[in-house]
Amino acid sequence: MHALVIGAGPTGLALAVMLARDGHRVTVLERDAGPPPGGAEAAWASWSRPGVTQFRHPHLLLPAVFRTLRTQIPEVLDELTSMGLRPGNLLDGARRFGLLDEERPGDECFMMMDVRRPLFEAALDAVACRTAGVTVRRHTGVRALLAGRERVSRRPHVVGVLTADGEAVLADLVVDAAGRNSPVGRMLRDLGAPGPVEERDESAFLAYTRYFRAASGTEADVPLWPSAHYESVSTISCAGDAGLRSVSFFVSSQDRALRLLHREQAWDAALRLFPAEARWAGNGEPVTGVIAMSGMESRRRAYVVSGVPVATGIVSIGDAWATTNPLFGLGVSLGLLQATLLRALLRTRDADDPQRLTLGFHQVTEGILGRFHHHLGVWDRHRLAEIEGLSRQPPAVYEPGGPDWQFRRTLDTVKLRDPDILRAVAATAALLATPETAFSDPALVERVFALGRLAEQPWEPGPSRAELLAAVGSG
């Protein structure tokens, strides 16, 4: 089979290597340039990736990424090791700060990586380019899909693509790995197909990040836990490679007052109000200005509507299929797991029948990954409503719509106070369990609520909203 992959992001490249290992011929077409020569630091300093707006934002590569690479493409880990990367464990911070006293069998499933994304992509690119059967063509954008008609449904059956230069490239299967702004929906509509059905949240988070080079003698080299949720903002503290670390503030897109965080002075003043994050930045020297990112709403596209594929001969994976709130750091995890699902399906007899392939892929994707996407989206909607209530004058405390949110919110507050609760939360971050399965034991749920009753407020202790607004200059 010849598979054509649109987009050389993490999902497209990982899929290409997996399919080539199964004996398929794979062509990856990517609009942007490839990594510049000169190794890891050149990739970070000068690789231009207009196709991926978040390219220089911190990326936690959580356990599902580590696990998938270790089992499917271990050479990527070797490549990263040669760049100086050391894998870590999601529980390292809790151990370092004395909250977990013992290592338990099974803790190794929380192995993860903190590496700057340009280095991660450069490692994937190096492995893809030397894998027999894979051709990566850069500076080659896809402009349109080529299609005939499927016999039964009369919907388009995609047989290849047209590049920006007008070249036709034919394939047995086209894989849309073109990311969050994938043009494939529009291209399908141009062919007379109805296009995918898109679920999209109206509000979302904005992110404001700075990187620091840790000062020598800075205490820990991992944060206690990557994310924390305060009254009006959430934060991510990310360890990078090469002594870099970053702090990101996530604010609601409706919260206009906090948009001043894009100014360095306002950002620095805000950081001083958050002791854990300020400690993490460790009086380090900033090595970037504030990197801002908007348009991060949760979104999912369905290419099978009422049981009928919108088109055959094409499937959509990674961010092109669904995006999630970056606060969870799960985008690459979902993309890589979805690549393994497609690989597995292509090993079955469904691969020979375009209808069955499209329906089968939709079914496994929705059945396995759709559940995670649903849980993450529900959390977003509640959390944004909570922040928006607290931003009003007078502030309105968000009354949870149901026990599910109350439980999830309580978990955020208490997870670092009990080793079993922490491991169950880590299992959800590792995509080893949904919140329902990780907390199927009623005794564990009761422990969550019992600890929650001891907490003074449902968010981490930090500055009040008035203090935060005063610091950023919009009080």
CA distance 40 to 61: 17
Question: In the set 3, 20, 29, 416, which binds ligand FAD (CB under 6 A)?
Answer: 29
CA distance 423 to 219: 24
For position 10 contacting ligand FAD by CB under 6 A, the verdict is yes
For position 171 contacting ligand FAD by CB under 6 A, the verdict is no
CA distance 181 to 177: 10
- Interface stretch with ligand FAD, choices 68-76, 318-326, 416-424, 429-437 (CB under 6 A): 318-326
Block residue for tokens 């047989």: 159
- Using CB under 6 A as the binding rule, the residues of this chain from 36 to 75 that contact ligand FAD are 51-52, 54, 57, 59-60
User: Going residue by residue from 364 to 383, which x/- string records binding to ligand FAD, judged by CB under 6 A?
Assistant: --------------------
Residue 194 token pair: 């109805």
Question: In the set 160, 179, 284, 463, which binds ligand FAD (CB under 6 A)?
Answer: 179
Cβ atoms of 316 and 342 closer than 8 Å: no
- Rounded alpha-carbon distances, angstroms, from residue 231 to 260, 384, 388, 445, 463: 17, 11, 10, 24, 8
Block residue for tokens 């020598």: 216
In the complex with ligand FAD, the residue whose CB is nearer, 67 or 465, is 67
Q: How far is the CB of 7 from ligand FAD (least distance, A)?
A: 3
Q: How far is the CB of 319 from ligand FAD (least distance, A)?
A: 4
Residue 223 token pair: 């944060």
Pairing of strands 173-176, 2-6: parallel
Q: What residues contact 245, with CB distance under 8 A and at least 6 apart?
A: 211, 212, 214, 223, 237, 238, 239, 280, 281, 282, 284
- Interface stretch with ligand FAD, choices 16-24, 175-183, 390-398, 450-458 (CB under 6 A): 175-183
For position 3 contacting ligand FAD by CB under 6 A, the verdict is no
Residue 31 token pair: 């609009």
For position 329 contacting ligand FAD by CB under 6 A, the verdict is yes
For position 9 contacting ligand FAD by CB under 6 A, the verdict is yes
Q: How far is the CB of 11 from ligand FAD (least distance, A)?
A: 3
For position 223 contacting ligand FAD by CB under 6 A, the verdict is no
User: Going residue by residue from 266 to 305, which x/- string records binding to ligand FAD, judged by CB under 6 A?
Assistant: ---------------------------x--x---------
- Interface stretch with ligand FAD, choices 10-18, 66-74, 253-261, 399-407 (CB under 6 A): 10-18
Cβ atoms of 373 and 322 closer than 8 Å: yes
Residue 233 token pair: 């903002």
Cβ atoms of 201 and 380 closer than 8 Å: yes
Q: Is the peptide bond before 394 cis (omega within 30 degrees of 0)?
A: yes
The residues of the shown chain that bind ligand FAD, judged by CB under 6 A, are 6-12, 29-32, 51-52, 54, 57, 59-60, 141-142, 177-180, 183, 207, 293, 296, 318-319, 326, 329-333, 335
